[in-house]
Chains A and B, each alone.
Chain A
Amino acid sequence: MAHGKIRCLLGMLGTDVHSKGIRTLAQLLRDAGVEVIYLGEHNSAEGFVNAIIAEDADVAGLSFSSATYVHYTRGLLEKMRAAGVGDVPVMLGGLIHAEDEPTLREMGVRGIFGPGTDLRQILRFLAEVTGKPLAQGAAHGPG
C-alpha cells in the first residue's frame, strides 16, 4: 500500500450552485482521513485541471445537479488528457442518471455515485483507485 494521505479534489463546474452535497461529502471524507481540497462552485475546466496539477490530486470529484454533466465531463477529461493528467481518476456525484453511465465510463470516468449512494461506496472507491489508506475503521463508515 502506498503511504501518505488521499488527496481528493472536490468541486463543481459551470453555473451549478447546489454545493450542499459536496460540502457535506467533504466533511465526511475528512472524517475518514482524507485530505479534501475544496474547489467549490463555478470552476472552469481549465481551472480544475490546474488545480489537479498543483495539488497533485489522487482523485478528482465533481458534483452535478443539472443535466449538462455529460458535456462538462467530456470537456474536463479532454483538457486533463491534454495537460498530461489524464491518469488521475475522476468520480462524479449528484443527479447522474443511470442511462448515462455507459457513456460516462466510456469517456473515462472511473467512479459514478448518483442518488442513493452510500458513503462507504465512495470510500472503498477512493482506497481502491489510490492504493492509499483511510483513517482506521473508516471503511466501515463513520461511527
Chain B
Amino acid sequence: MSVQLSRTATWSGIETAAAYGPGDAAGLDYARDLGDPGQYPYTRGSYSQMYRSRMWTLRNIVGYGSPEDTREGIDTALAMGSAGINVVLDTLTQEAIDPDHPALWADAGQEGCSLPTVHALEVLLRGIDVTQTDVAWHSTMMIYPMVVALATRQGRDVSKLQGSHMPDHLQLRLGGWGEGIVPAALGHRTTVDCLEYSVKHSPRWALGCPQAYDMRERGLSAAGEIAVGMAIIELTFQDLIARGLHVDQIAPSMAWVSAADIDLFEEVAKFRALRRIWARTMKERFNSQDPRSQRLRVACHTSGRALVYPQPLNNLCRATMQTLAAILGGVQSVETCTYDEPVCIPTEEARELAIRTQQILAHEIGVARTADPLGGSYYIESLTHRVEADALAMKAKIEQIGLVKAIEDGTLESWMDAYNYDIERELDRQQRIKVGINKFVPGKTTPPRRFTFDPARMQSHLQRFKEHKAGRDRAALAPRIDALYRVARRRENSHQAMIDALVADATIGEVWGTVRAANDLPYDPFRTVQSPFTYTSP
C-alpha cells in the first residue's frame, strides 16, 4: 500500500514547493531576522540554553466536580510526574455565575471545578501556599481576584503571589461567549484593569494573554492566531500606557497561550514568526528597553480540535506530533491533550499516557538537546517568513476596522465561521484528509470508557455553598458590594474592590453581577436572577 499525497498546502492553506534551497532564504539576514537563541529578535528561541537550562513545564489540566474532587485529581497528577498544575473551572465559575442558579445548576462541576467562593478555593488549595507553589488557572473571569482574596485572608504577602491565569476577555467574546456574557468593551477594559492591578501588586503572577488557544480552536489559521493575538496585545498595551505604565512593567509578566495544531512545520514556523513579531513590536512600537519584554514566553496546549473521535488511539500519534512541534518551536510549557479528549473528560489512563509522551520526547527522542534544531532549514525559514507576512497583513485588516468594533459587529466571528466552513468543504472534497473521518474510516469503533465521578461530593459542596451564603455576615458584606458598585460605576479599576468583596464572602456571581449592573447590564446574563443588593450611586 503506497501513501499518496492528498495535499500540498499546509493545514492553514499555504502552498508548498517540492523542494527548498538557498534561494528561498536569500533575503534572510541572520543578525536582523534570526539572531542566536536568546538574542533579539528571538526567532530561534527566547533563551540561549533553551531546554538545557530549563525543561519545558509539563502541565496537566485537572478539574471536575467539587473542590475536593479536583484536589484528588491534582494530587494524582503530581504523583504521576506532572510538574505544574493547570486547573480548569466549570462553565458556571468561568462565566461568573453561582452554582445555585435556578436554570443552570445542572452545569455545576461539569467540565471543570466549581469554585464560587474564596472558601471553596481554600478547600481546593488546602495545604498549598500560593506564594510558594505555582498553580496555573485555565480561566479568565474572577479567578485572579479570588486567589488574591485567598492570600489576603490567609495573611500572605500578595507581592509574592505565584501562579498564572488567562485574563484575555476578548478571546472569550470571540469564542462563543457572546456579547451577553462578555460584552466586548467591558471585557477589554477588565483585561486592562487586571493587568494593571497584577503588575503593580503581584509581579510574580504570570498573565497568559492573548489566550490564543481557544481562538485557534474556534477557527483561525496559524497566521490568524498571530494576527488577532497581536491586535489584542497592542490595543491592551496602548490602554495600559495611557494609564501611565511602560511596556517593560507589563510584558515580562506575560506569556502567550498558544495551540500546537497538527501541521508540524507550520506550527514551528508560527512560533518562530510570533517571537520575531513580538520582539520587534515591543522594541519598535512600544520602545521596550528590557530583553525580558522582548523575548516572548509561550505556554502551549496541543490542539484538541485536531483529534478525532473514531479510532481514538490514533490520537496518541497526533498528540505526540503536536507536542513535538511545540518543543521544536521552542515553547516554555506544554500540555499534551489526552487521546480521549474528543469524547470526554480525560480518564486517568489517558492522562498518564499524555505525561509519558512528553517524557519519552524529552529523554528518548532527544528533541530538547539543542535550541531551534530546524533553524537554518531552507523550508522552515521560508515558511516562517511567509507566516509572518500573512499575519501582519491580516492584523492590518483588523486594525483598519478597529479590533473592538470588528468583534462587536461580528466581522471577526464571520471570518472564523468562513474558515471552518471552508475546512468542511475541503474535507468533503477530500482535499483535506483526516484519517478515520473522511478516509480510512474504521469499520466499527468502540467509544472509549467514560470518565465519571461520584456526584456525592458535588452535592455536599452545593449544600455547603447555600448554607455558607445564608450564614454570612451580611452587615460586613453589603458595604463592600456597594463600594464595588460605585468604583465600577465611576469606571475605575475595580479589582481591589472585587477582592475586598470576596474577602467579605461575596460569591463570584455577586461580585461580577454587581460590576455588570454598574455597567448598565443585567446582573445575571441569563436574566433569571435579580441582584439581591440595592446600590447607591457614586
A-side residues, CB < 8 A to B, are 14-20, 23-24, 27-28, 40-42, 44, 66-68, 71-72, 95, 97-99, 114-116, 119, 141-143
Contact = CB atoms under 8 A, between A and B. Distances in A.
Interface in B172-187: 172, 175-178, 180-181
Contacts of A28: 421, 424
A41 B424 contact: no
Contacts of A141: 428
Contact of A17 (B177, B417, B437): B177
Which label, helix, strand, loop or mixed, suits the secondary structure of the A interface? loop
B445 interface: yes
A142 B421 CA distance: 11
Contacts of A143: 429
A8 B92 CA distance: 29
Contacts of B219: 20
A27 to B, nearest CB: 5
Interface string B26-47: 0000000000000000000000
A20 B447 contact: no
Given A15-B97, A116-B445, A141-B428, A23 B107 contact: no
B2 to A, nearest CB: 27
A20 B218 contact: yes
B329 interface: no
Contacts of A23: 417, 420
Nearest to B420: A24
Given A24-B417, A42-B180, A17 B175 contact: yes
Contacts of B417: 23-24, 27
Contacts of A14: 91, 104, 106-107
B106 A17 contact: no
B111 interface: yes
Interface range on chain B: under 10, 10 to 19, 20 to 34, or 35 or more?
35 or more
B181 A42 contact: yes
A20 B421 CA distance: 10
Contacts of B528: 44
Contacts of B178: 17, 40-42
A20 B107 contact: no
A6 to B, nearest CB: 19
Nearest to B103: A44
Given A44-B103, A72-B106, A116-B309, A97 B428 contact: no
Given A97-B447, A98-B447, A115 B343 contact: yes
Interface in B184-241: 217-219
Contacts of A16: 91, 107
B374 to A, nearest CB: 31
B342 A115 contact: yes
17 contacts: A14-B106, A15-B104, A16-B91, A19-B176, A20-B217, A20-B218, A20-B420, A27-B421, A42-B178, A42-B525, A44-B526, A66-B110, A66-B111, A97-B343, A98-B447, A115-B342, A116-B308
B163 interface: no
